[in-house]
Amino acid sequence: MNKFTYISLVIVLLVSCGNQKSKNLSYQELKILNKFPVEGESKKVMFVYDHDTIETKVKKNQNCYFVNNKRGKRILRKKKFRLTPILSENELKAAESIIALNNKFRENELIAINTEILIIDNCTFLFQEEVNKNLIESNKRRDGLILQLLKHKTKFSIKALKAESFDSQLKIDLEKLINKNEVDSKSFNIHKTQKAYEIVKSFGFDVMPEYFYLNPLINKLEPIFYVSLQNDSFPIQSDFFVSEEKIDSTFLKYFKVDSDNILRLINDHPVIEKSIIIPKGFKTVINKGQKIDLINNSSIISHSPWICNGSKDSIITIFSSDSSAKGIHIFHEDDTSIFNFISVNNFNSFSDNYFWSLPSAFTIHEGHTKINNSQFKKLNSEDAINLFRCNYEMNNSTIENTFSDAFDADFSYGTIDNCEFTNCGNDGVDISGGKSTISNSTFMDISDKALSAGEESRMEINNCQIINSSLSIISKDLSITKSTNNKIQDCQIAYCAFKKKNEFGSAHIISRNDIVEGYERKTLIEFGSSLVINDSLYLNYEEDVSELLYGKIYGKKTIK
């Protein structure tokens, strides 16, 4: 094993070991330096966790301790959680069932509560995180509206956790679920809702979901089951009736359906003046040389995959001639969309002017996508391309003249090869919670970060050129970035590693055989993070690196 491989392995082990959970019944132990409050009391409690003394505010209510960490500290990576004493063997078995239930949710990519059994000063507790933004993001979802069902004897009320306004139709459809056992496919993610109910029943828990999360990408509700030792919820219903959403047939004005449920354009150059929604069950095929012009603030939302096969001499063009359109957004679960020799340009981010908006002009949600030999230009949105929970390949393509970020991949896995990113208003490639390999690509005139890995990502950068950009290679929040044989020229900062979010931790960069020229400052490495250059550990550190970034001294303020 060479030294480079050894250092890489050590860093991976250091990061992964810190997040592993015991697979047996030897529960994690914590200590407190003073006593918990009594019923109805709220007081400061000092925890000892991970070699640190953490100040918390604890309130006891109905035999449950509600804990709120202070000063940005985290326990088990959570700021807010509750501790329920386990007082009997039956309660211990119930607690273990709750843990198994949430593990099953996680296996099925449903929203799960981080639940563990802790020993605190020789007493046993059930640890459960609170429902908030941290919970949503740790379940590989984008922060969004959370609605809570509050029980009042035989009645209930619905409120948004952050006192946000929301579509009244959501309230109506939640009332249908409670009172009529009916789930409307317009408001609910039917697949995830049905699967969650099935799992809860299989574990023998007779409870309704206490919370619902509105996924902001697809604008549909998903249930959050918060099963506790003192659960006081509505009893779960039998199998519910699904009320199917009425299909808007406007898309048939522009597409015809063949015998294999393939949608094809009626003519080669349609002008779409009104937003269309393509339902599930189809495959949209666009042929070489065809053009789609979206005008009058229109957009395309598709729940079916797209196959666009242009050619070098006959490119497919999807654009907005009046610069008003709101892009193309494809939501599929296990399908694959293919874009070969297409040009996408002159779009804005999506908004329906009410309660639903997307940060991107071109979106793929879940499933797989392949983008080859294509161009994306003049996309006036927070993210030009946003891939979410997606597997992807992008080859021989360009993204240029973007308002903000060029390529944003959240909780996604894929490769980028032989691509160009030019004149981007913020980041070139930004990945969060995923893995990406970027090779043989060029980044030029990037206003903020050329390549950025965050939220426990893994990024490999090989044989790339990064020219005249603010920050070159960034690794943050437990991410590990490997940079090999790259050329970094005329950038403010070559390498930067730091912790941005308290629920995560330090980050790491491993560089080998890079060429760095014309920089203002070669490194910006926060204490606790690391940079290894050609097998040598870099030892020049800074405090609070995030306070130097995002336009304060280096880089650019995030544009939304």
> Is the separation of the CB atoms in 129 and 135 below 8 Å?
yes
Helix, strand or coil, per DSSP, at residue 128? strand
* pLDDT bucket at 4, cuts 50 / 70 / 90: very low
Residues 431 and 524 in one domain: yes
Residues 302 and 224 in one domain: no
Mean pLDDT of 398-410: 94
Residues 388 and 503 in one domain: no
pLDDT at 25: 53
Q: What residues pair up with 147 in beta bridges, in sequence order? A: 160, 212
* pLDDT bucket at 234, cuts 50 / 70 / 90: low
**The residue to which tokens 């902001």 are assigned:** 216
Q: And the tokens for 377?
A: 């230009």
Helix, strand or coil, per DSSP, at residue 184? strand
CA distance 15 to 298: 46
Is pLDDT of 311 > 70? yes
DSSP codes, 354-417: SS-B-SEEEEEESSEEEEES-EEE--BSSEEEEEES-EEEEES-EEEEESSEEEEEES-EEEEE
Task: Give the side-chain half-sphere CA count within 13 A for 175.
Answer: 9
In a domain, 307, yes or no: yes
**Which of 36-50, 126-140, 335-349, 414-428 is predicted least confidently?**
36-50
Per-residue pLDDT tens digits for 322-331: 999 999 999 9
Mean pLDDT of 81-107: 94
pLDDT at 223: 94
CA distance 327 to 358: 10
pLDDT at 259: 83
* pLDDT bucket at 72, cuts 50 / 70 / 90: confident
* pLDDT bucket at 86, cuts 50 / 70 / 90: very high
Task: Give the side-chain half-sphere CA count within 13 A for 208.
Answer: 21
In a domain, 549, yes or no: yes
556 or 130, higher pLDDT: 130
In a domain, 40, yes or no: no
Mean pLDDT of 427-434: 96
Residues 218 and 300 in one domain: no
* pLDDT bucket at 536, cuts 50 / 70 / 90: very high
Q: And the tokens for 339?
A: 């874009």
CATH number at residue 14: 2.160.20
What residues contact 92, with CB distance under 8 A and at least 6 apart?
86, 117, 124
CA distance 434 to 457: 5
In a domain, 119, yes or no: no
> Is the separation of the CB atoms in 502 and 476 below 8 Å?
no
Residues 342 and 388 in one domain: yes
pTM of the model: 0.88
Residue numbers of the domain that contains 512: 1-27+419-560
pLDDT at 290: 97
Residues 552 and 442 in one domain: yes
Tally of domains within the chain: 3
DSSP codes, 274-296: S-EEE-TT-EEEEETT-EEEE-T
Per-residue pLDDT tens digits for 263-289: 999 999 999 999 999 999 999 999 999
* pLDDT bucket at 183, cuts 50 / 70 / 90: confident
374 or 182, higher pLDDT: 374
Helix, strand, coil in percent for the chain, rounding step 5: 15, 45, 40
Is pLDDT of 511 > 90? yes
Residues 276 and 323 in one domain: yes
Mean pLDDT of 392-405: 95
pLDDT at 177: 85
**The residue to which tokens 């597997």 are assigned:** 391
Residues 370 and 441 in one domain: no
In a domain, 108, yes or no: no
Is pLDDT of 497 > 90? yes
Residues 205 and 291 in one domain: no
Mean pLDDT of 227-256: 79
Is pLDDT of 498 > 70? yes
Annotate 489-520 with b (16+ C-beta within 10 A) or e (fewer): bebbbbbbbbbbbebbbbbbbbbbebebeebe
> 200: closest CA among 85, 111, 82, 93?
111
Annotate 18-49 with b (16+ C-beta within 10 A) or e (fewer): eeeeeeeeebeebebeeebbeeeeeeebebeb
* pLDDT bucket at 238, cuts 50 / 70 / 90: low
pLDDT at 555: 84
Helices (H), 108-167: 133-138
